[in-house]
Amino acid sequence: MKALILRANADLKVEDIPLPVQPASHTCLLKVQGAGICGSDLHRAFENGAYHYPLIMGHEFSGVVEESFAGSRFKKGQRVVCYPLLPCGSCSACQTGDYAQCEDYDYFGSRRDGSFAEYLWVPEENLFPVPDHVDLLEAAMTEPCAVSLHGVRKLDLQGGETAAVLGGGPIGNMTAQWLRILGCGRIMIIDIDRQKLRIAGDMGFDVIHATETDPVACLMEKTGGKGADTVIEACGLPLTLHQALRTASRFGQVLLLGTLSRSVELTPDDMSAVLRNELRLYGTWNSKIVPRGKDDWSTVLRFLGRELQVAPLISHTPSLEKGPEIFRNLFERKEFFNKVIFRP
């Protein structure tokens, strides 16, 4: 089978390798249909962020069951998506179903080989069936959609709130969509990229171009000086973290969704905003797959292709053979990219 392999830092190659061997019972072989590039993959590929080499990256994926086992809930030909975290199953976090806090987890595309390949064996308990109404390529975005939903579910939303999302990329846009689905009134998306803002505007969001205006001043003007009831930091930048704290209203709530790429220093003004406005700060990571039916993944799959639209966010759907070129262009920002999904 073909696979996109990270041989060393900044060294990506497409190679023909043997089909994987079934690693354990109660696993299913998937024929990968869509595999998305996450921002964390750029860190792994070009910033010495991999746990080991060689590595097949890819943790956002959909597929079709190629082989299953006797008694499996999934049959050959069934369309599925896969939760990429493999919990130990025995630590205290696993006992409460909080697998993202597992003390000894494994992870597809990070700690073990992932989905930038034609085939992959995965545990049955990590699989979710894809509903008929969901396009299988779009289903590859279930994981980032679930990450967005997991964060938004931490917030106290009563309906009608004014919300601001700093970051108009796929995660920021999907977060804004969840805010709308869950009843927020006015939702503003702030970014520096005109094309991402155009997409957000076409989807009905109020947009603020952060290089054409002071985004803090603009947002305060749009809210009559009150600030936003709910603010989402979805960039992972020190600047946008400062802006998030300074655009939240009195008794507002701030969700920290972006992963910081470098250190940040909180100023006295930052702390004054937190203390005097009595802000609530929420951290979030990954998503939950229990209890089944009400979990983040099942919820995403019910809304995907209906109230939750990801098709406008997909900018490229290359083959694996284009992988090294796509990754290099992404890292060097040689052209506009939004969401890239490989078609293995």
The letter for the amino acid at 196 is: K
Q: Could you give the CA distance from residue 214 to residue 243 in angstroms, rounded to a whole number?
A: 10
Q: Which domains does the chain show, CATH number per domain?
A: 2-143+288-342 (3.90.180.10), 155-283 (3.40.50.720)
297 token code pair: 């993944």
pLDDT along the chain (344 residues), means of 10: 98 97 95 97 97 98 97 97 97 97 98 98 98 98 98 97 98 98 97 98 98 97 98 97 98 96 92 97 97 97 98 98 98 96 96
Phi, psi of 57 (to 5 degrees): -80, -175
Using a cut of 0.95, tell me whether the model's pTM lies above it.
yes
Chain segment 215-267, per-residue pLDDT in tens: 999 999 999 999 999 999 999 999 999 999 999 999 999 999 999 888 999 99
Chain segment 242-251, per-residue pLDDT in tens: 999 999 999 9
207 token code pair: 């947009």
Write out the DSSP string of 282-321. Answer: EE--S----STTTSHHHHHHHHBTTTB--GGGEEE---GG
